[in-house]
Amino acid sequence: MSNELYFLLSTLVLLSISTVVLRLFPAYTIPLIGTLMVGISTCGAAEIKVLGLHSNTGNIFYGTVMYLTSMQVLMAGRERVIKSIKKVFFVLICLQLLFWILWINPHPVPLFLGVVVNSSANIVAASFLAFVISQACCVFLVERLKGFAIPSILAQVVDSAIFFPIAFYGKIGSVFDFAIDGLKIKIVVALLAWPFGASIIKKRSTA
């Protein structure tokens, strides 16, 4: 299977599952987001090359997370989503502490993306901070723009702008091209998510 086909199928499967949850089992949206974030922490660093872009599987997971967040704002409102973000953040902190207690490090350091980083703490701090701020931006933008695709893309720009400078402090030049390629992959995921989200909005408007 080619990398492009793997990327397309895995993205469509994740978006399909997310759409089914949003439409039929909205109460399970938070557990799904949490599961995707755990997926990012444990296997999101697996590198892939798609359409000439050097990226990793985490961008597929996080693009789906942003889709879920933006759609949840439209469907359930800002207050409920903010509470959800807090819950997911708490779970992620607990899991990271568990990883450390059990000496399980999901981030391959000191070598990460082919670059020697200062410590795993850089990756963890960057991940948590980028998650909270980008999710908050997504909620704010969805409310202001009354849509989900553009807010999702803009929030992921914020995520990358926060994550890479902190995770690769002093070495950002080494991963700049990777960061740009990853952002392009996230935009592709957001575009693939558009018809899924549009179908939910259309269904709700005619209900």
Query: Residue type for 143, please?
Result: E
**pLDDT tens digits, one per residue of 27-38:** 888 888 888 887
More reliable by pLDDT, 111 or 187:
187
CA separation for the pair 173, 113 (Å, rounded) = 13
**pLDDT tens digits, one per residue of 42-63:** 666 677 788 788 877 888 888 9
**pLDDT tens digits, one per residue of 54-101:** 877 888 888 999 999 999 999 888 888 888 888 887 877 777 667 666
Cβ partners under 8 Å of residue 177, min gap 6: 54
Is pTM beyond 0.85 here?
A: no
Please name which of 110, 89, 101 lies closest in space to residue 41, comparing C-alpha atoms.
89
DSSP result, 80-147: HHHHHHHHHHHHHHHHHHHHHHTT--SS--SEETTEE-S-HHHHHHHHHHHHHHHHHHHHHHHHHHS-
